[in-house]
Structure 1
């Protein structure tokens, strides 16, 4: 059955036939799919976060290294597991599982235990793995970790739930809380924008820029901009721990690849070979790097590492080159794994920026649905969990230093197990986030707001209760804007957002609701085989040369990766072939 088939069989009007039904009041064998799918985006995103997502997040956490007694200590989280809600160990009871109804009645939090395997090493030599309890994390009702998962209506009634219980919410101190679906910029796509406020960022800055919301596989996110300056040069702007940093584009390109200046020049001017202004601007950007005495990739990395390492909190034994590489891994095109891919994407963004500034392309509308995506509760949960696990590693170093000031500490498995218990507990940060909706984060997680992330699932009536799970919010920052452009209902929203279900007053147009047949994608889709398929259809790889001039070709991007070039005449057939798959 298609996604909208279940809605076509609805009766034309209300009926009273169920009042005389002999089976009235008898629980059904299964729950109604239409009701369960209303909270599907919430439940499935959380299921992904605690299964595949948690494994990806653990792999993405870099080892935390520090010096202790002239030795190099390394702590690495190698695995993490979240357990279903159970009673504390040592309790005497018949039923070990904890159910949501009990937490509502006791005004407690429905939560599970987070346990991690911590590997530690001294001077690069592994000393063992310690299993450590990190804290309790809230569990979403009806998720795979919930003890209600998979129960039929009769069993749900036995556990004091409604027969059509849908889940999708958390229970914090006995109160049902819902993480809002937030509208975010489209991930890994360069969006050309005109922002007059960008002129205030410094002398020579213009209103032209290309912005990219970079998101990794485990949903860690950061924002990056390319700014066009009045003298024709480009400045790269990125954020690290809520601080803005500006870097001339030439330094970034030279640091990413070991290409010569001529090779970088040739890559940047692809498609603009006849534009003398653009050629002169590229030459000027590369000349700025040479004026600082940096002619090779190693010199540029050393130059950047010396200036940025004071902000990166890295060990003293890291050379400047490694500090610069850490900066690029954490801040610039973080969705890409290789520096070569980052180089080609920055070149593409530069060409797009100059096309915008010269009036050769239109500004893209960030308020259009095609340039937006939905941040699901599971993504927020996973991003916050990853950051707090990184903060826990830092707290262990502080605990070791504090204990070393009082007594003589020798590191072994027994002493580390005691020190691990002094680390920052993850229980309170999660409960604070869900109880208040306020985000306490050192990085900001790539969000434009740090409040209003969670709401109470109030049950004034059933339709009001359902609306919490279908609501998508543009963000608190946009409510302060005087302009009405962010509130407009655009034609491309038809079929995805309800055109009438938006409140009056301040949130009008900012708080919308998904249509009945609209589904939010919650699973990660692997596209590793797509570049080879594109090349077989006629796309020229990015490091190759097409048969025609670059001006007669379109650039091809896939998930923020520059794949190559395709002939303008061949592009329609390539597009048609992809649609048939």
Structure 2
């Protein structure tokens, strides 16, 4: 029972345990200057009485005046819905055999909310893979402005608190890329040259070397690098300080910064909080942008193929905790901004001195809106109107169909809802069929038969029975420690210039990326293969302190034709889909032994996985690496209950109708 709703419950537990702390860590302070210069009910009761199963939420807000802590305000925000069987649920403290004593079902699944007596489920929705630059071609990109082309590199940056920012690197007809990013709900386009100059204080030659690094003697890439540097010279942005001042002067009115901050400080806030937000260091942001320039050039010149948003290889799932946290965060920020405007208005009109009473008066009035917004999200499945414009871009345009009523017609329909993944409500009205296709990369992750007929066909799919999702996003300090350890594994440091090393990253050098951060270079494909095998060995070792079992290790080799951009891509973030296979390269008898390895959607296309033992033995002994645990593992939990699938009386499995399942 617990396995069916494990993804929902574990993600919500992570949000309660770590997600709220990370959200508070990254909440921007609301700074301004005045005119004068200065216990839960059991859920069965909630269902019968039409109530919501909630827990109280309180905010502790520290008020500082002139840099001196004035007070800590305790603000009650009402009650917010709690997921059944999560760590904050009363049932989580009881054993299942005691459930009937409290009028509960012993085989309770959990994973849903109770709002106004109704059971609601937050959907698992397909999203673009986080922190990975995608090569995308869209005709709409040409409408962005004069000289824009269809080609661009798009990256969905996700910070450890699940805040999302979309960056797009456009290719222009003059061979000079332009970076598009969002600042306070508005998209801006800035030449990549100014952003690169604002990131680091390097010489022009060092920047030229960083842009073309790893691409061999590509004359066209050198020309692109020269165009970037020429703009810096023509516009007189020949230092990091000048570029930061220029950006700060342009964007300071759009950001939440103190009025007394300088233009240069405003520029630092811009590049830190709105450009590649998943990275803390400016030098890491700089090298990621250089990599995106190289990939965009390879894409335009035909050395790199287009990557589809509809391919599960480049997708992840929106977990219930992520959506819950994003709505909660947006509402808190809105109330803090409203407090700022209220206090400033009072100060201007009546020259009232800022004090804790004035601030708390407004907070007590607005704070209950938080609980109302959370209830609105779960009741209607739509984003609250007051924050819809803030969150919709982060969800890829999704604003409706985020929650659905729990289907209690029978147990199988109820169980299937927790394993369902939806492409998104906005795709139901599209006439194109590309979003509905089940591509080969989805093998073993999405059930090929469990999808409804009619309009949602291909949009509403179900996870295969063994598939799980990574519900916990590692802390930034954990990722930093892993990056430091990886730098000791025969990887050429990313900041080691050719003047110091005496070597040049030629065309066969392989970039190594960890969660969207360039951490170094592998000198050759053979060296990269050795590193990937070493990491996979540590991944299978339960005693390993550095490599988690959920890490994706995908080595994309360079080819003579335009295929995927080469590199060693490592992923440890949350929301990724994983499934178990057997690694037969371990054990004294590989065909008998082996260890269970969890693989992701990105690395699967680059692994050789046999379905049966007969297929495994057809391969050369040194080519045997993985085998499926069971051939039936491609089906969903409900589809796997259908007996004698090859002799079924209908052409398709009716997976959610109990009558077709003979037990």
- TM-score scaled by structure 2? 0.76
Aligned mates of 1:403, 1:102 — CA distance in 2: 45
Aligned pair 1:572/2:519, yes or no? no
Shift of 1:559: 0.5
Instruction: Give the counterpart of 1:176 among 103, 112, 119.
Output: 119
Shift of 1:374: 1.0
| Unmatched 5+ stretches in structure 2 | 539-663
Shift of 1:407: 5.5
Aligned mates of 1:62, 1:262 — CA distance in 2: 37
Instruction: Give the counterpart of 2:340 among 388, 397, 401.
Output: 397
Deviations 1:35-87 (A, max 9, x none): 11100110110111011111111111121101113335xxxxxxxxxxxxx2x
More off after superposition, 136-145 vs 413-422: 413-422
Q: Is the 8 A contact 1:132 1:420 kept in 2?
A: yes
| SS of equivalent to 2:290 | helix
The change in CA–CA distance for 1:563 and 1:413 in structure 2 (over 3 A counts) is same
Shift of 1:167: 1.0
Query: Partner of 1:12 in structure 2?
Result: none
Aligned mates of 1:177, 1:241 — CA distance in 2: 31
Shift of 1:413: 4.1
Deviations 1:299-356 (A, max 9, x none): 1111112222232253322222222222222321000001110000000010000000
Deviations 1:384-403 (A, max 9, x none): 11222212211222332454
- Mapping of 1:267-306 within 5 angstroms? 267-272=210-215, 274-306=217-249
Shift of 1:540: 0.7
Query: Partner of 1:217 in structure 2?
Result: 160
Query: Partner of 1:499 in structure 2?
Result: 448
Query: Partner of 1:486 in structure 2?
Result: 435
- Mapping of 1:79-228 within 5 angstroms? 86=39, 97-228=40-171
The change in CA–CA distance for 1:306 and 1:529 in structure 2 (over 3 A counts) is closer
Query: Partner of 1:444 in structure 2?
Result: 391
More off after superposition, 107-116 vs 125-134: 125-134
More off after superposition, 170-179 vs 437-446: 437-446
Query: Partner of 2:592 in structure 1?
Result: none
Shift of 1:125: 1.6
- Mapping of 1:155-554 within 5 angstroms? 155-272=98-215, 274-404=217-347, 409-425=352-368, 426-440=370-384, 441=387, 442-444=389-391, 446-448=394-396, 449-525=398-474, 526-544=478-496, 545=498, 547=503, 549-554=505-510
Aligned mates of 1:393, 1:57 — CA distance in 2: 14
Shift of 1:131: 2.1
Shift of 1:284: 1.5
Q: Is the 8 A contact 2:436 2:459 kept in 1?
A: yes
More off after superposition, 184-193 vs 366-375: 366-375
| SS of equivalent to 1:64 | coil
Aligned mates of 1:559, 1:174 — CA distance in 2: 41
| SS of equivalent to 2:296 | helix
Q: Is the 8 A contact 1:467 1:513 kept in 2?
A: yes
Task: Calculate the aligned-residue CA RMSD, in Å.
Answer: 1.9
More off after superposition, 373-382 vs 528-537: 528-537
| SS of equivalent to 2:15 | helix
Aligned mates of 1:396, 1:423 — CA distance in 2: 9
Query: Partner of 1:22 in structure 2?
Result: none
More off after superposition, 424-433 vs 180-189: 424-433
Aligned mates of 2:481, 2:359 — CA distance in 1: 44
Query: Partner of 1:69 in structure 2?
Result: 35
Q: Is the 8 A contact 1:395 1:424 kept in 2?
A: no
More off after superposition, 237-246 vs 566-575: 237-246
Aligned mates of 2:347, 2:290 — CA distance in 1: 50
Shift of 1:439: 1.3
| Unmatched 5+ stretches in structure 1 | 1-34, 73-85, 87-96
Aligned mates of 1:579, 1:40 — CA distance in 2: 26
Q: Is the 8 A contact 1:183 1:474 kept in 2?
A: yes
Aligned mates of 2:407, 2:233 — CA distance in 1: 62
Deviations 1:355-382 (A, max 9, x none): 0000011112322222111110011111
Shift of 1:548: 5.5
Q: Is the 8 A contact 1:399 1:422 kept in 2?
A: no
Deviations 1:257-302 (A, max 9, x none): 1112222111101133522222222222222233333221111111
Query: Partner of 1:556 in structure 2?
Result: 512
The change in CA–CA distance for 1:511 and 1:122 in structure 2 (over 3 A counts) is same
| SS of equivalent to 1:421 | helix
Instruction: Give the counterpart of 1:44 among 7, 10, 29.
Output: 10
Shift of 1:482: 2.6
